[in-house]
Amino acid sequence: LISRRWRVEPTRIDLGDGVVIGEGNFSIMAGPCSIEGEEQIERVVAHLVENNVKVMRGGVFKPRSSPYAFRGLGIDGLKTFHRICRENGIKIITEVMQVSQIEEMIDYVDVFQVGARNSQNFNLLDSLGEAQKPVLLKRGISGTLEELLQAAEYIFSNGNEKIMLCERGIRGYEKAYRNILDLNAVPVLKEKTHLPVIVDPSHGIGLRDYVDSMALAAVMAGADGVIYETHYTPEKAFSDGQQTLNFQESARLIERMRKAYALR
Ligand code: PEP
Ligand code: MN
């Protein structure tokens, strides 16, 4: 169902208030790795509003490699995140980690993110298929494109067509960066499916200094959007500070991506 052979027309996902993700638009989604509190949300929202970015990312349920790391503010954090974003016309994308969270989160979310570690959690995918909320589905840490497409098929075949695919880097042997952002995936996925393709250069390379190069490369590779991490003091971020842009770097990247998209 997600194949271009079944549907040629590109899927566009309407989040309301004129925010449409998919071919014909270039979507920028930005925000911290983790939601940390009211002041942080307000400062990020102000940065996004200033730069005309309509979707804020931020995790409240965090899949962390260590159980002792910060695991997110949970549902209360999501409610604060939602209130401040609604007051400012910003849409929310945040990760759902398990089936039981869907119901408590659904009224406070515009897009559910399925993280790389849950890319093949088939119960979660089935339930998101029934939930009728847009989903950003990340590629697994060592996932093939075929596995990503089949994961999307789980959601679509349950009746939810509002899916975007996300390339976020795959695990390799190179130690100089966190992951290998596989930009080959962009044109290949665009040809194979009618779904929007989004790139996450923050997790894709994992080092702040290189995020903008990879984001710009993603634009030119044909991505329908980019999702990246930004924070007013990345050094103090509760998670993923090493790959997070400060607001100055973020503003510069937004401008450069828009210029690059105009050249495409
Ligand atoms: C994130 O977006 O902060 C995240 C945990 O992403 P991933 O699932 O790609 O590691
Ligand atoms: Mn992160």
pLDDT digits (tens, 9 = 90+) for 79-113: 999 999 999 999 999 999 999 999 999 999 999 99
pLDDT in tens, 191-220: 999 999 999 999 999 999 999 999 999 999
Measured by CA distance, the residue closest to atom 4 of ligand 1 is 115
pLDDT of residue 177: 98
Task: Quote the CA–CA distance of 75 and 52 in Å, as a whole number.
Answer: 27
Residues 6+ away with beta carbon under 8 Å from 239: 33, 34, 59, 62, 64, 69, 70
- How many Cβ atoms from other residues are within 10 Å of residue 180's Cβ? 15
Residues 6+ away with beta carbon under 8 Å from 71: 61, 62, 64
Residues 6+ away with beta carbon under 8 Å from 106: 131, 133
Q: Which atom of ligand 1 is nearest to the CA of 57?
A: 2
What is the Å distance from ligand 1's center to 95 Cα? 8
Domain ranges within the chain, ordered by starting residue = 13-263
Average confidence (pLDDT) over 7-28 = 97
The answer, yes or no, to whether any atom of ligand 1 lies below 6 A from the CB of 241, is: no
pLDDT of residue 69: 96
pLDDT of residue 112: 99
Given ligand 1 and candidates 64, 113, 119, 165, which is best to mutate, with the most ligand atoms within 8 Å of its CB? 113
The rounded mean pLDDT for the chain is: 98
CATH for the stretch 13-263: 3.20.20.70
pLDDT in tens, 31-82: 999 999 999 999 999 999 999 999 999 999 999 999 999 999 999 999 999 9
Q: Which amino acid is at 12?
A: R
Confidence of residue 241 (pLDDT cuts 50, 70, 90): very high
Sign for the CA dihedral angle at 22, 26, 32, 33 comes to: positive
pLDDT of residue 153: 98
pLDDT of residue 105: 98
Complete DSSP assignment for the chain: --BTTT--SPP-EEEETTEEESTT--EEEEE-SB---HHHHHHHHHHHHHTT--EEE-BSS---SSTTS----HHHHHHHHHHHHHHTT-EEEEE--SHHHHHHHGGG-SEEEEPGGGTT-HHHHHHHHHH-S-EEEEPPTT--HHHHHHHHHHHHHTT---EEEEE--B--S--SSSSB--TTHHHHHHHHBSS-EEE-HHHHH--HHHHHHHHHHHHHHT-SEEEEEB-SSGGG-SS-GGG-B-HHHHHHHHHHHHHHHHH-
Average confidence (pLDDT) over 122-148 = 98
pTM exceeding the 0.90 threshold for the entire prediction: yes
Nearest Cα to 116, choosing from 65, 183, 47, 55?
65
The answer, yes or no, to whether any atom of ligand 1 lies below 6 A from the CB of 33, is: yes
Q: Which atom of ligand 1 is nearest to the CA of 115?
A: 8
pLDDT of residue 86: 98
pLDDT of residue 264: 94
pLDDT of residue 166: 99
